[in-house]
Structure 1
Amino acid sequence: MYRTGDLVRWLRLPGGGLTLDYVGRADLQVKVRGFRVELGEVESVLSACVGVARAVAVVRADDGAGDRLVGYVVPGVGVDLDVREVLAFAGERLAPHMVPAAVVVVDAVPLTPNGKLDRAALPAPDFAAGRAEYRAPKAGVESAVAAAFAVELGVARVGADDNFFALGGNSLTATGVAARLRESTSTEVPVEWIFTHSTPESLAHRIETREAETVENDGAGSAVEVLLPLRATGSRNPLFCIHPAIGLAWCYSGLVQHVDDDRPIYGINSPALTDPDVRFGSLDDLAHRYVREIRSVQPHGPYHLLGYSVGGQIAHAMAVQLRREGDDVLTLAMMDSRAPSGAEVDGEMPTAARLVAEFGGVELVDEGESDMTTEQAARLLRAKGGLFASLTPDHLDTLYREYQDLVHGALAHRPSTLEGTVVAYFSAATDSDDDHGLDREAGAAGWRKYIIGEVREYRIPTRHEQMTSPQGLSVVGPLLNRHLNLVDRERGAPE
């Protein structure tokens, strides 16, 4: 006797007796996007869904997006399976990183000659479903941009209408694109242009119409405007993403690759970045300004709002105001946004240098650098490169002031009660050491006294600070996308 690693079950034969039915492997543990996944556990949950006769889970490569978890389901006799319902079922019972990125319905699972599952023979999933139809880029700058996208993202081809972030890009890979375009077009391409012109066609047009004499003064340009279009096209109700305490919504760019292509996505930056003299007396005042901003794009509901950290508190206040004005808010999504506990600021505020080091990815060599000026910090960011290299010392001064104001404002804020909105709460599985008096233990429970209605909580296997990292968004993004689609269907919003 020895352990084969095969997972089997006893079946009773019609005429009596028992036989062993091969189910799969008992030791199929894989790693997907840094998380360990037991394929057998995923298969067990998928098989438990009504109408599913058998299920198989495998890992498949998605060009430009790394490995993805895929579920294959065999429907029962006479059953017409809806893969969206299967995914929703799995999302309620599995950890977020174990929910398949796609579900494929098959008539039967392929078997090897000895009766075991032949995973290699399963049909390839269509990860490209819903992406823009391929349109070849024009010769010249447009082709150069598409080629730079393809090389940096590791994809076979990039069309003129393909969105850089939808293909898996982020601020780090955008730096590589800018460097390649500097060589191929002999033009200095600021990284922030990729944020605001994220297809080969639009970025090529921006490069070709650029005025040479204004390049040095272009700064962060429209990337710091209050309303930041991460994806301005689409026929469905937009998703509005409210900045965290740092005042920038750039951290949401990675969501574009996970949210359906026909849904526009807008970030909301702090108004202080373009108007340094503006001040707000409370989070409710700030929320009122942001309601005005989103109405400039979508005059009436239903609305979808998302906020990370303090941004979740602001989004909650916006939802309350929109509901009071008679508009429907289908979604309030909060990413580890903790309710105020009534305590004073817990611990010292980070220095400006420490804040820059955290959001700009700059390593401080020694403690002496923690006292650096914003001019020195700006030079460090320029030397490192990337999107944050475009920020000036004035921008950094403003961001630091805004950070302090927002932390104090969040502690002083007393939320009103929100009713009639489905809340999706994404909580970090591991705590942060930097809570500033917000109730880190309460999680979604801390908000229930301010919310009348359904709160759907999802545990994300990452730290608070990593919620908007590529790894964090690879889990949050698909869950959020399914949530948006589900509430649209439940409430009869256009799809």
Structure 2
Amino acid sequence: MLIGERFTYPLEPLHRVISKTVKKYPDALAYKYQDQLLTYSMLEEQSDYMAAFLMANGLCPGTVVGVLLDRSATLVVTLLAILKAGGVYLPMDIDFPEDRILYMLEDSGATMLLTYSDKRVFSAENLTVINLSLAEIAQLKPELPRVSHEWPAYILYTSGSTGRPKGVKVTHQNLVNLLMSMFSFPGMVHTDKLLAVTTISFDISNLELFLPLTAGATLVMADAATARDGKALFRMMKQEQITFMQATPATWKLLLLSGWDEKLDIKIVSCGEPLPKDLAEKILERCASLWNMYGPTETTIYSTGKQILKTDRVITIGKPIGNTEVYILDDQLNPVPWGEIGEIYISGDGVTQGYFAQPELDAEKFVIDPFKDGSAKMYRTGDLGQLTADDEILYLGRLDKQIKIRGYRIEAGEIEYQLKKCPEVAEAVVTTRTDRSHDLRLVAYVMLKDFALNLNFKSLQHDFKDRLAQELPSYMIPSEFYLLEELPLTLNGKIDYKALPAAVRKTTGKVIASADTELEKNLFAIWAEALDTTDFTIDDDFLDVGGHSLIALYIMNEIEKLLGKTVPISALYEYPTIRKLAAVLDNGISDSLAASLVKLKSGGDKHPLYLIHGNGLNLLNFNALVQYLPDDQPVYGFQAIGLNASDAEIGTMEQVAARYVKELLHQNPDGPYLLAGYSYGGNIGIEMARILKNMGKEIRLLALFDANAQNSEKYNSWTSRIGRKILRQGPKAVWFTRSLVKTPAKAIGYQLFLLRNNANRILQKLRLVKQEKSIGVFEQLERVTQKYNEAYYNYRIKPYDGEIYLFKAAERVYFVDDAEQLGWGKYALKVHVREVPGDHKTMFEEPNVATFAAELTRVIDAINCA
């Protein structure tokens, strides 16, 4: 449990707190928008007049008022006026589709809508629409009602998993506690100038609008066009001498790309989505201080945060803000042990009143806090977290399908619901992919009702976007649509997201003309056939356009046919584009490509990490893991010896390890060394570590990726083999039963795989079926695999005089004798187990690999700091 600072704050409505600020700083500048200026006394007076006007038009305490106003002084005045009159404001973006606005108005029970545009006409039952641009606001002082700090101040709608957005009721007390906490964390004083860049439909806008007004500072508002223009926004930051600004990482990236290259005396708050370490480092060079804040709408904007320093090795979401408690719990609501992963729960004065008119969802998400007396509630965020050694919280992603893009919280179910309303659509699935600039994009998979419609799918995509735009805000429109003949399902009938095809765009051969030489054209044709698309150029990276290990083998086999010579797979690491690959093929294969050691990621001054291949022999399965590791972490990989030289001798496991060590010392003679072996590559890693230690070298990390310590049965007598098999049957039956209940599709699938393999092997021995003969690269791969399998079969694990970090897959499709340490406890001085999501294969795939990489980075950083 982490407990934020306890402090007292006024149990008063927000507008009364701001009125006290007005008395302290009556002539100070409260608000600036272009040439519109308001002092604190002017703001107080105009909001009083507006409150009188609204009350005269029917606004009474408890009234929900829809606010559909663009950025201007009127916006802030109106929000304060609604609060003074005892109303509850419902902020809506002026760009929202009409259907979404009407739904929010009807669902919230709003009886008044404020706008200043006559271009959009809204008609709903019991709804009074007031166009403020036509209204005559009399200068009358109202008799304001008594407003309780426990009343809702606003209702903010977030995306909903059931297909409709859901409204969150935030009280005056929730908001005042947050604002008062922000005075010291991250800090605001009356001399500050805050630049507001966020639309009012995003909950962090409430902090932008009211934090400066409670501190006596100045609120400077950017117009919508400036907020989207990095260059214009940077000019405004400088011209207005802004000292405080909050935004999502997407906005900070925009500013950097737009030329922010000088240091400003400004406090930066990053929020809404995870802050990448490389982005943090760039921002720190250009600001006075940087703060990373976290919190869902349901607990009032921010619940935790921390100041990010240059010395931070990992970006955490820090500790709780004032009057807030954060727990990391397991499924039984028990605190997880330190260092373990659990779900983040938030309690305290920021926990809101819950969802509007959704009691079942309330009961699910707002649960009794078992660590407090009485009926206090805590909110289950659905986010995964872990406590660090500094008692800070490391955010590790979502438990469910919820998506965060550019700070917006999106329920895929809401988009799917709207897509399935299209008459052509039978089923739809919405998920995400990371584009080439590492930004997250929404992707929709669609199955149509009539097969004949498939021919018109390209034109239908535009129709889908147009229809979705009528119901959803722009940030919820998928950027890409893919056609499916049928949706992949698990055995229990649910959508199998992991079985969805990779999002690789398919178009016509529009760019083949960019290939200049005959070899480039031939390589383009080979890639296009292998990737089943021509939507790439000769300068696109093989892995970025959907390439993986099997495709690489196919491509190399086709190149061998084309050129009549073997090209090592490592060429696709060193020369991952058609242009680069063609150039090296023209000039001849260098000796470096015949080596086992391949550079996977350069840059940074950290000690390199060396990955050792598993049964797949090459390194392409490590690609996603490498991409998720920090930019300043160099990574190298050892691929199998025989992949680059068909006549290479493999020898024993010890000889393989010695060959890899030789190449390692040539590249890095001094160390210290970080080694990580996958599957039986773990055995090679242990042998390499043993050789290096005997040479007096420092092994700083020996990591094993789901490697099982099991010796070959070769060295056991036939009686002990039979005895072992008999003794394993009981535990094996228990394991299979559990896995059948937990993951039936995987359990049955693996058993069928074994059955087919064994049956096929028997039939081949009986010569009842003909064994297909591999050719080219595939023949070489088969030959090398057999040699490595022989080396593994003849290998005996020996004790290792050191510690091991075991990264163990949480799901297991095959039985092991020691499920806890995979058998390594008897071979190492100590085994540190780190469980990562996925199985032996999918631990390296999305979405599991992000958690895997984060955990590996934490271990490396901790070891380097020790």
The reply to whether TM is greater than 0.5 is yes
Distance 2:620 2:699 in 1: 23
Amino acid at match of 2:683: Q
CA RMSD of aligned residues (A): 5.6
After TM superposition, give the deviation of residue 406 of structure 1 in Å.
1.5
1:37-93, CA deviations, whole angstroms, 9 ceiling, x for partnerless residues? Answer: xxxxxxxxxxxxxx99999xxxxxxxxxxxxxxx83664387557984359974759
Given the superposition, is the C-alpha separation of residues 124 and 388 from structure 1 closer, same or farther in structure 2, using an over 3 Å criterion?
closer
SS state at 1:430 partner? coil
Match of 2:437 among 128, 144, 152: 128
Letter in 2 for 1:404: E
Q: Find the residue that maps to 2:807 and give its secondary structure.
A: strand
Asked whether the 8 Å contact 2:704–2:807 carries over to 1, the reply is yes
Q: Aligned partners of 1:99, 1:210: CA distance in 2, in Å?
A: 50
Are positions 1:427 and 2:809 aligned together?
Answer: yes
How far the C-alpha of 1:163 sits from its partner, in A, is 3.9
**CA drift at 1:408:** 3.6
Give the 5 Å matches for 1:198-209: 198-209=576-587
How do 1:230-241 residues align onto structure 2 when only pairs under 5 Å count? 231=600, 234=603, 237-241=607-611
* Partner-residue secondary structure (3-state), 1:299: coil
Q: Does residue 447 of the first structure (1) align with residue 824 of the second (2)?
A: yes
Q: CA deviation at 1:267?
A: 2.0
- Whether 1:139 aligns to 2:525 is no
Q: Which consecutive residues of structure 1, in runs of 5 or more, have no partner in the other structure?
A: 1-12, 29-50, 56-70, 112-117, 131-135, 212-220, 349-357, 434-438
Larger relative contact order (CA 8 Å, sep ≥ 6): 1
Look up the equivalent residue of 1:337 and give its one-letter code.
Answer: A
Which of 260-269 and 304-313 deviates more?
260-269
Q: Label 1:228 to 1:445 Cα distance change in 2 as closer, same or farther (>3 A).
A: closer
Contact 1:189 1:207 in 2 (8 A): no
Q: Secondary structure at the match of 1:202?
A: helix
- 1:365, CA displacement in angstroms? 6.2
- Per the alignment, residue 797 of structure 2 pairs with 413
CA offsets, 1:113-167, max 9 Å, x none? xxxxx9xxxx99775249xxxxx9772244664676477275854463x542355
Residues 297 and 176 from structure 1, CA distance in 2 versus in 1: closer, same or farther, beyond 3 angstroms? same
| Aligned-partner SS, 2:821 | helix
Give the Cα–Cα distance (whole angstroms) in 2 for the partners of residues 401 and 182 of structure 1: 22
1:380 aligned residue? 773
2:790 to 400, 404, 413: 404
Tell me the distance in 2 between the aligned counterparts of 1:368 and 1:150. 37
Structure-2 change in CA distance of 1:145 and 1:450 (3 Å) = same
CA distance in 1 between partners of 2:709 and 2:555 (Å): 40
Select 2:316's aligned residue among 85, 108, 111.
85
Tell me if 1:458 matches 2:825. no
Give a deviation string over 1:300-343, Cα, whole Å, max 9, x none: 22323222222212212323443454444343332321224797
Q: Counterparts of 1:42-441 in structure 2 under 5 Å?
A: 72=273, 75=294, 76=302, 79=306, 84-85=315-316, 90=384, 92=386, 106=407, 128-129=437-438, 139-140=516-517, 141-142=519-520, 145=523, 149=527, 152=531, 156-158=535-537, 160=539, 162-165=540-543, 167-174=545-552, 177=555, 192=568, 195=572, 197-209=575-587, 227-229=596-598, 231=600, 234=603, 237-244=607-614, 249-250=617-618, 252-260=619-627, 263-270=634-641, 279-280=651-652, 286-323=656-693, 325-340=695-710, 344=716, 367-370=762-765, 380-382=773-775, 387-391=777-781, 396=783, 399-409=785-795, 412-419=796-803, 423-427=805-809, 429-432=811-814, 440-441=817-818
**Distance 1:339-1:99 versus aligned 2 partners, 3 A rule:** farther
**Structure 1 residues 277 and 169, CA, compared in 2 at 3 Å: closer, same or farther?**
closer
Indicate conservation of the 8 Å contact 2:625/2:844, yes or no. no
Q: Give, as a single letter, the amino acid of the residue that structure 2 aligns with 1:128.
A: S
CA distance in 1, matches of 2:826, 2:667: 31
Sort the Cα spacing of 1:14 and 1:190 in 2 relative to 1 into closer, same or farther, 3 A.
farther
Cα distance change on mapping 1:362 and 1:177 into 2, 3 Å: farther
The 3 A distance-change label for structure 1 pair 276 and 425 is same
Say whether 1:15 aligns with 2:149.
Answer: yes
Distance 2:862 2:789 in 1: 37
Answer whether contact 1:312 1:335 (CA < 8 A) is retained: yes
CA contact 2:646–2:780 (8 Å) conserved in 1: no
1:486 to 851, 854, 858: 858
- How far apart in 1 are the matches of 2:760 and 2:655? 40
Contact 2:159–2:410 under 8 Å retained in 1? no
The Cα shift of 1:259 comes to 0.8
2:641·2:650 contact (CA, 8 Å) conserved in 1? no
Per-residue deviation, residues 263-304 of structure 1 (Å, max 9, x unmatched) = 343224257976666644xx5565344322321222222323
Deviations 1:226-280 (A, max 9, x none): 6152637555644433344x5x622x31212431377343224257976666644
How many positions carry a matched residue from both structures?
377
Q: Using the TM superposition, name which of 307-316 and 170-179 deviates more.
A: 170-179
One-letter code of the match for 1:441? D
**Percent identity of the aligned residues?**
19
Q: Which secondary structure state, in structure 1, belongs to the residue aligned with residue 707 of structure 2?
A: coil
Secondary structure of the residue aligned to 1:481 is helix
CA distance in 1, matches of 2:514, 2:694: 47
- Report the residue type matching 2:316 in the other structure: E
From the superposition, tell whether residues 102 and 400 of structure 1 become closer, same or farther in structure 2 (CA, over 3 Å). Answer: same
Compared CA separation, residues 148 and 459, structure 1 to 2 (3 A): same
CA contact (8 A) 2:689 2:702 kept: yes
Letter of the structure 2 residue corresponding to residue 229 of structure 1: V
* Contact 1:226-1:269 at 8 Å conserved across structures: no
Q: For residue 623 of structure 2, give the secondary structure of its aligned residue in structure 1.
A: helix
1:204 to partner: Cα distance: 0.4
Change (3 A) 1:269 1:99: farther
Contact 2:651 2:791 in 1 (8 A): no
1:417 partner letter:
D
Rounded Cα–Cα distance in structure 1 between residues aligned with 2:709 and 2:558: 44
Contact kept, 8 Å, 1:317 with 1:415, in 2: the verdict is: no
> What CA distance in whole angstroms lies between the structure 1 residues aligned with 2:848 and 2:565?
31
CA contact (8 A) 2:808 2:836 kept: yes
Distance verdict in 2 for CA 1:307–1:91, change over 3 Å: farther
The structural deviation recorded for 1:206 is 3.7
> Is the contact between residue 169 and residue 254 of structure 1 (CA under 8 Å) also seen in structure 2?
no
Q: Secondary structure at the match of 1:258?
A: helix
SS at match of 2:763: helix
Aligned equivalents of 1:148 and 1:188: distance in 2? 15
Distance in 2 between the 1:364 and 1:182 partners? Answer: 33
Q: 1:306, 1:333 within 8 Å by CA — same for their partners in 2?
A: yes
Larger Rg: 2
Maintained 8 Å contact 2:836/2:852: no
Alpha-carbon distance, 1:405 to partner = 3.7
Given that 1:362 and 1:381 are in contact with CA atoms closer than 8 Å, whether structure 2 keeps it comes out as no
1:256–1:97 CA distance, 2 compared to 1 (3 A): farther
CA gap of 1:448–1:243, structure 2 versus 1, over 3 A, is same
Q: TM-score, normalised by structure 1?
A: 0.56
